[in-house]
Chains A and B, each alone.
Chain A
Amino acid sequence: MQGGGENATTTDERHSSRVTFEVNGSSREVTLDNRTTLLDALREHLDLTGAKKGCDHGQCGSCTVLLDGRRVKSCLVFAVTLEGRSVVSVEGLAGPDELSPLQAAFIAHDAFQCGYCTPGQLCSARGMLDEVARGWPSAVTDDLSAPAELTDAEIRERMAGNLCRCAAYPHIVAAVRETAAAS
């Protein structure tokens, strides 16, 4: 396994920084090239390859993780900006050898095929359900003053930032709907 320190020594010292942030509940201290994105920090330095790189440009959602509980595209976040922050990736959605209800629902509904978009879908759905719980409206919410209601149209709209070329969309919506209804 390649460690952050090993890779960082090969880059110019002036262009790297030591940063400490929490990943899936444990504190990680790494020295990273200042250009390293959170996505590459996870994948190349912390051996957390769950978050996927589909575009590296914030256009596909495969790299979605939770940053301080909010969903972000980790390919658009520089890791050196994360001092003291908390990241949850797909590996941290449930305890070891456990599945979160959302993960179990994804399996039950066959909400994926190749699985490459799946970690991003899961993190995005997790963050999205919290947004709904907080009452945040979306572009298809009719009544902005009423509590947000999670209709299928709302799920589709709120999950629109996560592309799935296998097109598991109807099953993703079903899995999210079921999870939301059960919680």
Chain B
Amino acid sequence: MSTGAVGRAYPRLEGREKVTGTARYAVEYPVDGITYGWAVPSAVVRGRITRVDTTQALASPGVLAVVHHGNAPRLAPGPEPELWLLQEPAVHYRGQYVAVVVATSLEAAREGARLVRIDYDAGPHSTVLTDDHPGLYQPDHVNPSYPTDTAEGDFDAGYAAAPVRVDVTYRTPAYHNNPMEPHATTAQWRDGRLLVHDSNQGATSVRATLAELFEVPPESVRVVAQHVGGGFGSKGYAKAAVVLTALAARHVDRPVKLALTRQQIFGPIGYRTPTIQRVRLAADADGRLTAICHDAISQTSTIREFAEQTAVYTRSMYAAPHRRTTHRLVRLDVPTPFWMRAPGECPGAYALESAMDELALAVGIDPVELRIRNDTEVDPDQGRPFTSRNLVACLREGAQRFGWTDRDPTPRARRDGRWLIGTGMAGSSYPARARPSSARATARPDGSFLVQINATDIGTGARTAIWQVAADALGVPPERVEIHIGDTALPTAPLAGGSMGTASWSWAVIRAAQTLREKLQDLPGGVPADDVSADADTTDEVGGQPTLPRYAYGAQFAEVRVDADTGEVRLNRMLGVFAAGRVVNPTTARSQLIGGMTMGLSMALHEEGLLDERYGDWVNHDLATYHITGCADVESVEAYWLDEHDDELNPAGVKGIGEIGIVGAAAAIANAVHHATGVRVRDLPIRLDKLVGTSSLA
């Protein structure tokens, strides 16, 4: 019996705390005897620390300690070399944290950090990704565990034989996640036990990593993440802040809080790798794809391999008899790239969906129609039918809502005064997955229920969505359900990432609720004074699920105006229609989708990590010079979804919505810019200097 909470638009449960300023984030908990940490980044790219002179720093009022490789508590060499911090004199990239100053005030810690003198022996470095870099190699697999290369049919022959061909190379720069709350931690050791309040996307894995690094049992570590100021992938696992803070707290034997500065999170906590992507498409005269090849190049660091799965999107999106995808990687003297909202799919879809636009023009077919013609019910990669694929329905509804019909495909055909107007579109997809989770449901004698799960709400609305799912599963009005998340003291659960959170968490919550209801049926006398609880663990059930191609789909539409004189690009409006399974909460879902689409706008027009090879670092590492889309940049962004039911997903029937909003968004905008101007900019972002001076834009 469902009370119908799922599908209803509830405001966020923590809304009141967030608008009154009482929601506490990682470094906002009052702690007696707190001290302040300040990270010191390396000033060289590659080399060795030869001397750390702490004299001046320690003489500065309030400074308690300078923790560095010479005196830091030892860490076990764990699986994540990026976190083996302050353990060795070697420096692997500029900005790598090499010391932490601890002081009795923030000001003293910051001043102390300025006074630490570090000498280095610096070696030559290589920090720029090129398509002919001598270090290019083929990784064993790409993130997280996809095959590096795939091939079906005979691409070369199929491509050569086709009447219409497109061979284009796209480039994307480094993008920096930049959650508004920088990575931050409060750490307290007491009797060998560690308590951290940390800004992360999954406290369960952070606890495991800390236990491993500090060689303590996981039960001795508690990680709390009640409110998290965004992550977008960059807080997916334990990152430097939590390790540095725990190290510092152990060293000074006092509680320490440390927030990385905005400048310090451009790189060492991860970023989206730059990519170079060659896409070749071949089609018959009707626009049916006969050959597809996507060759992607990206970078990783010298200390850890992270291989962005850039071309994976192309494996399952459109059908063709001859297909090939490859990934090549270069180890550079840079921080390790990591997840940023839809890693792989986001940059990959930019390239493929742009190339599809170029193909549409080459064949003379409407870009929406081209995608409909190349739709497939069977996953070209796995060879099995998709559990549900509503790409075409998204395309049709999007075209209708946006007003796409009767579009004149001629570039540079619409003008309004000095503005050139253009429209563009793109397809979108993202895998629908789930991970094992556990949860606990408790009935209380007063008729209320408590649901506990170590899920994380990084702004997605997870707390509210799980609460709604729990109410329906318990068969009670949601007002009778209390939900606790964001603490490793609760049943373990996977992170908020990969658009898997709601699917994974709700699965365990539903199972716990079902078991609890069965228990209650056996208690005719009602709930005893000491409550009744039921635990669930979905490890077997999730692991036993058949491997099927499960994807969410979408269609993105954009209208831009481009100043014919200055090349300034403005987004007039953007509209997306998505098929993402059941939508638990329309309010928070819409916000997620709009947020993803807007980050795609940011990717297309605004963001760009500018690396200076001499210093081997991004020079625009702040929010004044690395522009993320602001309020004045967003005139109209609308998200809609189809009513979609897919029984082969998970008990809640959800596909995940955190990432699909960004997939294809940049391509839709880039395609619109081409339509407006006739200029095809193939390296993002589309800055005005790439438009002015071209023959089209006089």
Contact = CB atoms under 8 A, between A and B. Distances in A.
A110 B598 contact: no
A152 B632 CA distance: 10
B591 A10 contact: no
B587 A110 contact: yes
B236 to A, nearest CB: 15
Interface in B160-183: 178-182
B180 A62 contact: yes
A99 interface: yes
A122 B30 contact: no
Contacts of B32: 2
B628 A163 contact: yes
Interface in B616-655: 622-624, 628-632, 634-637
Contact of B107 (A35, A49, A114, A161): A35
B282 interface: no
Interface in B562-605: 587-588, 590-592, 594-595, 598-599, 602
B105 A7 contact: yes
A81 interface: no
A115 B20 contact: no
Contacts of A10: 61-62, 104-105, 108
Interface stretch (B425-433, B457-465, B474-482): B457-465
B114 to A, nearest CB: 12
Given A55-B622, A94-B20, A43 B28 contact: yes
Contacts of A59: 262, 622-624
B521 interface: no
Contacts, number: 201
Interface majority SS (helix, strand, loop, mixed), chain B: loop
Interface in A101-147: 103, 106-108, 110, 112-119, 122
A166 B588 CA distance: 12
A56 B19 contact: no
A52 interface: yes
Given A113-B591, A156-B631, A54 B181 contact: yes
B20 A91 contact: yes
Contacts of B25: 49, 52, 116
Contact of A172 (B30, B181, B461, B631): B631
Interface stretch (B210-218, B222-230, B292-300, B342-350): B222-230
A16 to B, nearest CB: 10
Contacts of A163: 180, 623, 628, 630
Contacts of B15: 106-107, 112
Nearest to A96: B20
Given A91-B21, A115-B459, A159-B631, A110 B590 contact: yes
B630 A7 contact: no
Contacts of A168: 591, 594-595
A28 B71 CA distance: 41
A50 B12 contact: no
Interface in A149-165: 152-153, 155-157, 159-165
A18 B184 CA distance: 30
19 contacts: A1-B30, A10-B108, A11-B105, A33-B108, A50-B21, A54-B181, A55-B261, A56-B262, A57-B624, A93-B20, A103-B19, A113-B591, A118-B18, A159-B632, A160-B631, A163-B623, A165-B232, A166-B591, A167-B595
Given A99-B16, A164-B631, A170-B594, 7 more contacts: A10-B62, A11-B108, A44-B105, A56-B261, A107-B15, A163-B628, A169-B637
